[in-house]
């Protein structure tokens, strides 16, 4: 019978040289050298006033190393960071075996808001000195992430007041039921039920009171800084966050925006915003990135950032930019056959071949017979539509609109081919634009001409390969799937810390401190 050496899992006292755990060329080594030799942490040190009295504090340089190393491993919970500092040899080495409590770590991150911009800028300047910023193309984009806020407690002031009324009505009904139970004789059998009801009533009363206090303390949120525009939804748990629509669902969260240089994918500007509107983020992100740009730098962004007002300001400030519009790919001859591919089923969800149905080809305006002289329109079924708009305008262009009558459209046998949603849409509407119209959106037209050139397409084509891998690294490799803090300043701190981790990783990959 074969014999093997015994495996002994009993505790050992092993000699560990902490300094040797930080190997050159690794992220932790670059982090260690950067903070000890490059960073100016005087503002962080100035926060401590224990020179003569009070207990010694944890070194802010060590705390910053711990937090950034934890974020690089996808660890953002303060309790989890405390645990790895106690159990992981690498964290013991980077911190000099100073085991701080999770409350100290959480407090350090919360109070970084005033200094995080300067620290983030220092990392960018070091990347620039290492030649990692090319300044040819800057790509701007954002990622929407959930926050530490309840989506159910979001709405306008009227909606939140209605929620509070509904909760209070429910409390009154529960109290009425509770009193009826008190009149019953079998008190021992219902004691547990009454205790649970009392706890639930107390929780609902607190919730309703918190909504009432929020409505009294916070004014209505408006669409712009001037106080005008439609009311935006507020949130009781985190009023700086916003309700945002993503490709999968609607979330309550923040947009983490970043401006990335195309040379080595260095993030030159980062900002977290509690707004689902990408158009409002374009100019602030460009302003944050301009100190690191040059005269030849071209700013690029996708169609979500496109608006006539943004393009006008870019023109007035003489900023070279390529901002796509929603029709850019339709004008590109390389995508002229994309319609036949879009009609195919999604291969990730439906492996079966698509079956042709009677409603597979929808009627387009070209299928309607329109006579501009008599102002009449005949649908493919031979029925006349009535005109309900002669001088309508869209983006400065005039068009005529026609609508079918319910008595004609509802029983029509061609509904499946005419309407996108025949089960919910009653009638078909069709619009005809007047030909040879000159668009009044001169900045949009100027941008179209610029981006449709061969040089414009080549420069804009670098955008997706510049910024999307950055978000892939942060979301997948660093496991950043949500913001855990509340308030715009704290969330912005958390976003900048993650972007700093990305930039420091780039320094390590390009041989810094070897």
DSSP string of 149-197? S-GGGEE-HHHHHHHHHHHHHHHHHHHHHHHHHHTSS-HHHHHHHHHHH
Q: In this predicted model, what pLDDT tens digit does every residue of 131-183 receive, in sequence order?
A: 999 999 999 999 999 999 888 888 888 888 888 888 888 888 888 877 776 66
Pick from 301, 307, 296: nearest CA to 323? 301
Residues with Cβ within 8 Å of 456's Cβ and at least 6 positions away in sequence, in order, are 322, 450
In angstroms, rounded to a whole number, what is the distance separating the alpha carbons of residues 121 and 447? 31
Residue pair 183/275 in contact (Cβ under 8 Å)? The answer is: no
Residue pair 268/258 in contact (Cβ under 8 Å)? The answer is: no
Mean pLDDT for 280-294 is 93
In angstroms, rounded to a whole number, what is the distance separating the alpha carbons of residues 132 and 125? 10
Which has the higher per-residue pLDDT, 188 or 333?
Answer: 333
- Identify the H or E element spanning 123: helix 116-129
pLDDT at 1 over 70: yes
Which has the higher per-residue pLDDT, 85 or 354?
Answer: 85
Between strands 321-323 and 298-301, the pairing is parallel
In angstroms, rounded to a whole number, what is the distance separating the alpha carbons of residues 514 and 512? 6
In the numeric block, the tokens 């903070």 are attached to 35
Between strands 231-232 and 321-323, the pairing is unpaired
**β-pair partners for 300:** 139, 322
pLDDT at 109 over 60: yes
In angstroms, rounded to a whole number, what is the distance separating the alpha carbons of residues 474 and 502? 7
Mean pLDDT for 319-326 is 93
In angstroms, rounded to a whole number, what is the distance separating the alpha carbons of residues 220 and 254? 19
Residue pair 20/497 in contact (Cβ under 8 Å)? The answer is: no
| Domain 137-147+245-332+452-491 part of CATH 3.90.550 | no
In the numeric block, the tokens 């219902």 are attached to 190
Q: Extract the tokens encoding 131.
A: 């030649």
pLDDT (0 to 100) of residue 355: 41
In angstroms, rounded to a whole number, what is the distance separating the alpha carbons of residues 303 and 296? 22
pLDDT at 357 over 60: no
pLDDT band at 346 (very low <50, low <70, confident <90, very high): low
- Identify the H or E element spanning 384: strand 384-394
Q: What is the mean pLDDT of the chain?
A: 87
The predicted model scores a pTM of 0.82
Distances (CA, A) of 383 to 277, 375, 402: 42, 14, 12
Edge-first strand listing for the sheet containing 429-433: 369-371, 376-378, 384-394, 397-403, 429-433
Q: Extract the tokens encoding 263.
A: 């040379």
Q: How many CB atoms lie within 10 A of CB 111?
A: 15
Which has the higher per-residue pLDDT, 513 or 83?
Answer: 83
Burial 115-125 (b: 16+ CB within 10 A, else e): bbbebbbbbbe
In angstroms, rounded to a whole number, what is the distance separating the alpha carbons of residues 167 and 202? 11
Domain boundaries, the chain: 18-111, 137-147+245-332+452-491, 157-219, 365-433
Residue pair 471/143 in contact (Cβ under 8 Å)? The answer is: yes
Mean pLDDT for 37-57 is 85
């Amino acid at each position: 019978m074969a014999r093997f050496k015994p495996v002994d899992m009993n505790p050992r006292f092993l000699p560990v040289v902490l300094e040797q755990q930080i190997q050159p060329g690794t992220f932790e080594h670059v982090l260690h050298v950067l903070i000890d030799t490059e960073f100016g942490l005087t503002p962080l040190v100035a926060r401590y006033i224990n020179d003569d009295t009070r207990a010694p504090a944890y070194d802010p340089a060590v705390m910053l190393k711990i937090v950034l190393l934890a974020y690089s491993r996808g660890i953002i919970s303060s309790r989890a960071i405390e645990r790895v500092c106690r159990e992981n040899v690498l964290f013991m080495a980077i911190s000099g075996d100073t085991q701080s409590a999770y409350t100290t770590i959480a407090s350090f991150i919360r109070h970084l808001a005033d200094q995080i911009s300067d620290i983030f800028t220092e990392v960018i300047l070091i990347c620039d000195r290492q030649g990692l910023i090319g300044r040819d193309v800057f790509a701007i984009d954002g990622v929407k992430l959930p926050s530490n806020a309840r989506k159910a407690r979001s709405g306008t002031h009227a909606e939140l007041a209605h929620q509070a009324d509904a909760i209070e009505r429910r409390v009154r009904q529960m109290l009425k039921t509770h009193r009826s139970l008190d009149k019953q004789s079998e008190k021992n059998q219902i004691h547990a039920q009454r205790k649970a009801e009392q706890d639930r009533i107390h929780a609902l009363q607190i919730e309703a009171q918190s909504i009432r206090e929020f409505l009294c303390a916070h004014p209505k949120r408006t669409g712009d800084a001037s106080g005008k525009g439609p009311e935006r939804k507020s949130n009781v748990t985190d009023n700086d966050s916003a309700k945002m629509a993503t490709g999968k669902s609607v979330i309550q969260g923040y947009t983490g925006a970043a401006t990335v240089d195309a040379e080595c994918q260095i993030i030159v500007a980062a900002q977290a915003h509690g707004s689902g509107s990408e158009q409002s983020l374009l100019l602030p992100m460009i302003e944050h990135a301009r100190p690191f740009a040059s005269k030849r730098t071209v700013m690029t962004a996708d169609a979500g950032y496109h608006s006539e007002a943004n393009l006008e300001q870019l023109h007035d400030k003489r900023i070279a930019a390529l901002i796509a519009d929603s029709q850019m790919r339709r004008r590109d001859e390389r995508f002229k056959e994309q319609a036949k591919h879009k009609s195919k089923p999604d291969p990730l969800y439906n492996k079966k071949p698509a079956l042709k149905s009677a409603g597979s080809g929808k009627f387009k305006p070209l299928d309607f017979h329109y006579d501009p002289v008599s102002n009449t329109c005949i649908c493919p079924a031979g029925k006349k539509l009535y005109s309900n708009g002669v001088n309508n305008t869209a983006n400065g262009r005039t068009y005529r609109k026609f609508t079918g009558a319910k008595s004609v459209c509802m029983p029509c046998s061609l509904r499946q081919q005419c309407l996108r949603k025949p089960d919910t849409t009653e009638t078909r509407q069709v619009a005809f634009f007047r030909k040879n119209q000159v668009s009044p959106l001169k900045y949009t037209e100027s941008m179209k001409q610029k981006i449709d050139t061969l040089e414009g397409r080549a420069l804009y084509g670098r955008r997706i390969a510049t910024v999307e891998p950055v978000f892939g690294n942060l979301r997948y490799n660093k496991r950043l799937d949500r913001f855990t803090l509340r308030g715009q300043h704290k969330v912005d701190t958390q976003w900048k810390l993650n972007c700093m981790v990305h930039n420091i990783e780039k320094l390590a990959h390009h041989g810094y401190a070897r």
